[in-house]
Structure 1
């Protein structure tokens, strides 16, 4: 390969990785350790928790690319715990020799890790089913678990916050890959979890063949029109039975949350998540939900 092509390939790879990493929530190692230690004390990842009659299903939170079981959920996990849910979160998709960051491994293998974790949560809580709430890749990856790994028998609801259900162009960056010979192969080899999320990837083609949903599961997608990672944002929406697609600006036109904020700090979105988990007791989501 010519030297200029090698340089261009490296630049493109760095650009794609930097774009994703910059837009993903991160924290220092000490902050992660502190947060992880505090989480169980707030009722989060407490395997002695038993679901109540009001909320009979435990909630499993599924982080996004470059996220982890703590950073992604410092806002939503306590929010749900405070409303009486048993809440759990897992780490998945860690690559060898890559510390801190998760969600980079092959997504089908990550779905296997989710499968094992849901079984662990159900065994501990005694519940026959769980609900899943995922952000970004974490809202899409569980669909592989539901469709191919028997997850539909163990899950009642999947709530996806800014999920890349039909892939992403990363604002067009992914569309540059064909112009750089070897770039797609590099991404697949080094960060298969990213390559799987590019619109039109073999993984997504298989996932969406024959329809977006499986029977027995209710699906909710919550998107923001200001998403700059999963683009176009309407590609996040699903088609099929038992699907509710929500554009958060339809609930509050003043909401400016982008891809990261909608899953990590946006209490208007949190309120809509709570509605999706307990539709029988849903209350209107408005701009005032930020203080709810």
Structure 2
């Protein structure tokens, strides 16, 4: 073949290849690896101090018709947007949700790693940070409301935002892992007295932790009107009998009154193999799938009954 002929063939080959590239459908983004372990997010925080887990806090994300509301993850005492949510960010992102997570209540003027130890400030201060974060999420995504998934203090603090900072018309679903509506230690008269005496006293490091005691002024604010709930928001409380920090675990088992939309779920009621404790419930596939169903009850996933060890959750 003459050189000119070879050149023509080469050009044709390049054009055909380029056309194939243009015509080929875009490849889907690779799935985020799912790791159902409470400590699954810690390695990322260690490698990327102050960062966000892959798949979260993408303010370019636009909700879809299937999942029209962004999900805001609210960590517990001592947690952060990375360390508390290693199981939830990839699970939600892989299913098409816009996922956001904040670190709230980290004490100011502290160096890392203390900046990754949230939930330390007064609940009112933390709720104000949540208010600003939700406003930013709604502005970026164009959504009208968000869904909240919280763990521990993250089940309690957001209600201050809902009741006092304008969150009632900005939250549709409010999912709580290890909730403490009545305050931890709520069966003990002495704990109620302690809450009344010390609930507003700043504790070392955890300035606002007294607000989670029964009888504290904060607990009374959460229960304003005789209920911790607000009409128009759907609440799902997911609890474990083996909770060693919310004592008793039924502090989070509060039925709704007329006009209030509330589901109470104790994970052992449907699976005796589930030994989740306070930490493990945020690293359990079972609890996570229950949360998925609370976000989208019209398209439920099958919730597995499988062994869930305490402390870590599944691996």
Equivalents in 2 of 1:30, 1:131: separation in Å? 25
Secondary structure, aligned partner of 2:298: helix
- Could you tell which deviates more after superposition, 191-200 or 83-92? 191-200
In structure 1, the residue matched to 2:210 is: 195
Distance in 1 of aligned mates of 2:52 and 2:222: 37
Normalising by the residue count of structure 1, what TM-score does the alignment of the two structures yield?
A: 0.81
Q: Displacement, 1:94?
A: 1.4
| Distance apart, 1:250 and its partner CA | 1.6
What are the within-5 Å matches in structure 2 for residues 21-170 of structure 1? 31-34=45-48, 37=51, 39=53, 42-98=54-110, 99=114, 100-169=116-185
**Deviation per CA, 1:84-124, whole angstroms, max 9, x where unpaired?**
10000001111235523110111011111101000000111
Distance 1:156 1:234, change over 3 A: same
CA distance in 2, matches of 1:273, 1:35: 28
Contact 1:170-1:228 at 8 Å conserved across structures: no
Q: What root-mean-square deviation, in Å, do the aligned CA atoms of Structure 1 and Structure 2 show?
A: 2.9
1:225 is the counterpart of 2:241: yes
CA distance in structure 2 between the aligned counterparts of 1:255 and 1:73, rounded to whole angstroms: 20
Unaligned runs of 5+ in 2: 1-37, 309-313
Cα shift at 1:238:
2.6
Match of 1:269 in 2: 287
Q: Deviations over 1:172-220 (max 9, x none)?
A: 7x84995xxx977764475332111112111001211212211110000
Partner of 1:238: 254
Residue pair 1:162, 1:230 contacting (<8 A) in 2 also = yes
Give the C-alpha shift of residue 253 in structure 1.
1.5
* Count of residue correspondences: 261
The verdict on how the C-alpha distance between 1:275 and 1:289 changes in structure 2, with shifts beyond 3 A counting, is farther
TM-score computed with the length of structure 2 as normaliser = 0.75
Q: Which of 205, 230, 240 is residue 220 of structure 2 equivalent to?
A: 205
Q: 1:170 to 1:176 in 2, by over 3 A?
A: closer
Consecutive unaligned residues of structure 1, counting only runs of 5 or more, are: 1-23
Q: Who is 1:5 aligned against?
A: none
Q: 1:206 to 1:184 in 2, by over 3 A?
A: closer
Cα distance, 1:169 vs. partner?
Answer: 2.3
SS in 1 for 2:174: strand
> Cα distance 1:114–1:176, how it changes in 2: closer, same or farther (>3 A)?
closer
CA distance in 2, matches of 1:222, 1:128: 26
Give SS of 2:289's match: helix
Tell me which structure has the larger Cα radius of gyration. Answer: 2
Q: Which digits, 9 at most, give the CA deviation of each residue in 1:128-172, with x for residues without a partner?
A: 110000000001111111111110111101000002211112997
Q: Distance in 2 between matches of 1:27 and 1:282?
A: 26
